[in-house]
Copies of this chain bind each other. A is one copy, B any other.
Amino acid sequence: MIELYHYVPVANGGKVLMALHEKEIPFRSHWIDLHAFEQHSPEYLEINPEGQVPALVHEGHVITQTSVINEYLEDAFPHSPPLRPSAPLEAARMRQWNKYIDDVVMEAVSVHGWHTGAGQIARGYSDEEFDILMARVPLEKQRIKWRQARAGFAQEKLDDCTAKVAEAVARVEQALEQGPWLLGEFFSFADINFYAYCGGGLARMFPQIGSSATCPRVLEWVERMEARPGVAKALATSAP
């Protein structure tokens, strides 16, 4: 039995939820409310000592890190619909996209997300309450991010991240000249990855970048993504 500990179906959680539904793998969902800081509760830290979601548990084994989890799903469920190409060169192309999306795009979008979303949450607590919550965060880099989000990121940092998003969208726009998906005809984890971190929220978060004037193919691709039954099912995931 697969168990998934996750929050809303965007970003990290969405990436694995979409993969599970697209691969038609049954799983039990455990909702971890990031707004209530449940990811830092003693119970959850027993599952993932780093206090991050999602975490996948399969037959008692805990697997973390979204791209590692998705490759695992591909390896462990070889008879489910494939989301990683079997040709070595195509698999390498997928992993190059994933590395770029995980390292650059995720970070750039997440700074904007932390600036608004997490910043708002963090400012809702008094200094004292916030310090108590921070003392429970296991990873130093996450504590730094929470404190930055509460204070607000510098405009220069936000502009730099916006430029990175624009470049990523331009690269995807160009890739989509070759076919309906990032790897041409093959729908893969790379599509899920870009959608989860950037594509899904593009028009809302970055309206100046995600317009039909600048990236018509990306916007059509967003529609194709959301029309997929597995993706749609994942996006319909809500609090229990």
Enumerate chain A interface residues (CB-CB to B < 8 A).
Answer: 58, 61, 63-65, 67-69, 71-72, 75-76, 88-89, 91-92, 95-96, 99, 103
Contacts and interface: CB of A to CB of B under 8 A. Distances in A.
A91 B65 contact: no
A104 B106 CA distance: 16
Contacts of A91: 71-72, 75
A107 to B, nearest CB: 11
Given A61-B89, A89-B61, A95 B68 contact: yes
A44 to B, nearest CB: 18
B96 A68 contact: yes
Contacts of A72: 88-89, 91-92, 95
Q: Closest 8 interchain pairs by CB?
A: A75-B88, A76-B88, A72-B92, A68-B95, A63-B92, A65-B99, A68-B96, A68-B92
